[in-house]
Structure 1
Amino acid sequence: MPENYDLAVTIDKASGFCFGVVYAIDMAENILDHEDYLYCLGDIVHNDEEVKRLTDKGLRIIDHEQLDNLHKEKVLIRAHGEAPSTYQLALENELTLIDASCPVVLKLQNRIKNSHDDDEQILIFGKHGHAEVIGLQGQTDGKAIVFQDITELDNVELPAKFTLYSQTTKSTDRFYEIKNELIARGYEVNANDTICRQVSNRYTDLERFVANYDKVLFVSGKKSSNGKVLYDVCKKYNDQSYFISNIEEIDKNWFSPNDKVGICGATSTPMWLMEQVKAELLSY
């Protein structure tokens, strides 16, 4: 192993938190600056390192079951949004909700609710069990059909006409492929592209970014849907791309002396974590 790698390391300026995550974390930190603790329904962001930083400050992560037994407390709703039943429970349990739902998600929830109220059959292209998708399905009293792969619809009896929506962090290309495939199967599809442009614009940004480096480290939490999609983009345009969640997962053997290394991340990856990765690489 060489004594000194002399790596040239650059962080992608377009990577890091999207505005929805920034908004939720700012709200949490503002409250924790004045109070000892704050409950948060689910992980505030799909990044274990950032969640640990905030739980050390007093953020208490709870699930829906724990929420049922909570009374007269403050609870943060994260950027992913929640189903109407959560707001109903908050009223019953006299909870104060600090609502940090992302505006893009709220707008989508509203559109889905309107479609449901108009008796449209709704299909949602999204990840099963994902917090945002549960909130979206909640707008339809659980009647929307959720699928994450089109093959799941092969044996489903669908009406001749339906309305198609997407989780905000899905791949735009994939959404349009699905829309076209459903039309080719003979359905009348009212397709609504509801993918967040702050996310989809990163595909093009990443394509350009990763092409400039010998090696690429993509930093993301393993639970991040958006992280998986963006890492695939990195890998497609630079096959020397590696997925890591923290500095412990870096393998020195990936690098050669004088490599140019690019660091990028998901919309849930904090900038401080990418800076940490950079500092680690510069120490080689």
Structure 2
Amino acid sequence: MKYNLAVTIDKASGFCFGVVYAIEMAEDILDDEDYLYCLGDIVHNDEEVKRLTDKGLRIIDHEQLQLLHNEKVLIRAHGEAPSTYQLAMENNLTLIDASCPVVLKLQNRIKNSHDDKEHILIFGKHGHAEVIGLQGQTDGEALVFQDLSELDNAELPAKFTLYSQTTKSTDKFYHIKDQLLSRGYEVKANDTICRQVSNRYTDLEQFVVNFNKVIFVSGKKSSNGKVLYDVCKKYNDNSYFISTVEELELDWFDANDKVGICGATSTPMWLMEKVKAKLESF
């Protein structure tokens, strides 16, 4: 049986400019050199990471960085803590800095707040590369939380400054701000969420309602992938999360379905094209 699926890719999905910038920098160097070290996965998408490691990208962690000398190392879009730059100077490492401009601006704001002796709270995912870099601006003093319930029993100062990881939900950020105000705290809130990410919520709402089925393509490590998939699921219950083409299942579909494909800011367009081709072969 031929399913005859009508498949459309969301034109607003795919890499954000910060990821595009980092990948282009890596590819430019790998066109001329055999290898390039990258501190952490260049993007939270295993398929794209494999494509680049096949070209010579070498992914290392912070422990391996300490053993490296006289080499080039790419800093990905998520940014890094000041200690990384200090280590690079000590080990004579050349840093290719592809930190996202939005993240760099946020790092500077947090550092200025810390220098002004403000108490800082960061709404972000524990252990996330961007959040580690942000907390590093405060010498590790900022309090990181990913859910409001974590603050229920925390001893917070009466007055503090609230920041957010750039890929968090705007609605959730403002809900947290309102809840903290209602608890009697004096909150100076800085909405530092990337609009290229937050605008996708609205774009996705409008996209997914046009289809019988929705395939959301994202790496499992992607923070905004989880958030954006929740948006898909909220507005179209027949939404499915996949990371690779192999995860597609035929029994999700009915003949002549209209299928929409969308993805995270870390999902490459080539992977969504691959998913489209597979669906059209059913």
- Kindly provide the amino acid, as one letter, of the partner of residue 253 in structure 1: D
Percent pairwise identity = 85
The aligned counterpart of 2:90 is 92
- How do residues 192-207 of structure 1 correspond to structure 2 at under 5 angstroms? 192-207=190-205
| Superposition TM-score, scaled by structure 1 size | 0.99
Deviation at 1:279, TM superposition (A): 0.1
Deviation at 1:198, TM superposition (A): 0.1
Deviation at 1:87, TM superposition (A): 0.1
- Kindly provide the amino acid, as one letter, of the partner of residue 203 in structure 2: D
Deviation at 1:93, TM superposition (A): 0.1
- Spell out, residue by residue over 1:180-221, the C-alpha distance to the aligned partner (whole angstroms, 9 max, x if none): 000000000000000000000000000000000000000000
Instruction: Report the Cα distance in structure 2 between the residues aligned to 1:162 and 1:247, rounded to whole angstroms.
Output: 46
The aligned counterpart of 2:162 is 164
Aligned length: 282
Deviation at 1:248, TM superposition (A): 0.6
> In structure 2, the residue corresponding to 1:33 is in which secondary structure?
helix
Aligned with 2:122 (options 117, 121, 124) = 124
Deviation at 1:260, TM superposition (A): 0.1
- Spell out, residue by residue over 1:139-194, the C-alpha distance to the aligned partner (whole angstroms, 9 max, x if none): 00000000000100011111110000000000000000000000000000000000
Gaps of 5+ in 2: none
- How do residues 59-70 of structure 1 correspond to structure 2 at under 5 angstroms? 59-70=57-68
- Spell out, residue by residue over 1:79-117, the C-alpha distance to the aligned partner (whole angstroms, 9 max, x if none): 000000000000000000000000000000000000000
Aligned with 1:140 (options 138, 141, 144) = 138
Instruction: Report the Cα distance in structure 1 between the residues aligned to 2:245 and 2:36, rounded to whole angstroms.
Output: 29
Aligned with 2:186 (options 188, 202, 227) = 188
- Kindly provide the amino acid, as one letter, of the partner of residue 147 in structure 2: D
Counterpart check, 1:177 vs 2:190: no
Gaps of 5+ in 1: none
Instruction: Report the Cα distance in structure 2 between the residues aligned to 1:82 and 1:28, rounded to whole angstroms.
Output: 17
The aligned counterpart of 1:275 is 273
Instruction: Report the Cα distance in structure 1 between the residues aligned to 2:202 and 2:149, rounded to whole angstroms.
Output: 27
Instruction: Report the Cα distance in structure 2 between the residues aligned to 1:108 and 1:138, rounded to whole angstroms.
Output: 12
Stretches of 4+ aligned residues off by more than 4 angstroms: none
| Superposition TM-score, scaled by structure 2 size | 1.00
The aligned counterpart of 2:224 is 226
The aligned counterpart of 2:19 is 21
- How do residues 71-90 of structure 1 correspond to structure 2 at under 5 angstroms? 71-90=69-88
The aligned counterpart of 1:251 is 249
Instruction: Report the Cα distance in structure 2 between the residues aligned to 1:100 and 1:138, rounded to whole angstroms.
Output: 18
